[in-house]
């Protein structure tokens, strides 16, 4: 994998589109970051399919997985960043979640779409 963006190690998965990583900033410096995946929306944890969406993301990103993080901006709700994740094999995580029906594409404006549940994919 090319490390064009900071390396980050997954420490936990909150729900189907939010996770916590330890970001390697270099020179023995790290920072913990909560990351909301940009460009998509997954089913909320409290809704039918929400726990399954979280479990799917946790399966894709087991604790200890090293990924590339491209942080774009601070999230509107604060305390987390909006960004994208590239998996160790070079796959864009957001595109994978959308293409497999675990998330719906969303640009962050208007009502947040949710993928159908049960999944169609």
- 3-class secondary structure for the chain? CCCCCCEEEEEEEEECCEEEEEEEEECCEEEEEEEEECCEEECCCCCCCHHHHHHHHHHHCCCCCEEEEEEEEECCCCCCEEEEEECCCCCEHHHHHHHCCCEEECCCCCCCCCCCCCCCC
Report the predicted TM-score, pTM, of the whole model to 2 decimal places. 0.92
In CATH terms, the fold of domain 7-105 is OB fold (Dihydrolipoamide Acetyltransferase, E2P) (2.40.50)
- Where are the chain's structural domains? 7-105
pLDDT in tens, the chain (121 residues): 555 678 999 999 999 999 999 999 989 999 999 999 999 999 999 999 999 999 999 999 999 999 999 999 998 888 899 999 999 999 999 999 999 999 999 998 999 999 999 987 6
């Amino acid at each position: 994998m090319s490390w064009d963006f900071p390396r980050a190690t997954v420490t936990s998965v909150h729900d189907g589109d939010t996770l916590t990583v330890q970001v390697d900033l270099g020179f023995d410096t790290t920072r913990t970051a909560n990351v909301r995946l940009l460009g998509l929306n997954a089913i909320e944890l409290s809704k039918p399919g929400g726990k399954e969406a979280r479990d799917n993301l946790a399966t894709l990103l087991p604790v200890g997985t090293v990924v590339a993080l491209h942080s774009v901006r601070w999230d509107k709700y604060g305390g987390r960043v909006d960004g994208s994740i590239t998996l160790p094999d070079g796959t864009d995580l957001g595109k994978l979640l959308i293409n497999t029906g675990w998330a719906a594409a969303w640009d962050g404006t208007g009502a947040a779409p949710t993928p159908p549940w049960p999944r169609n994919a």
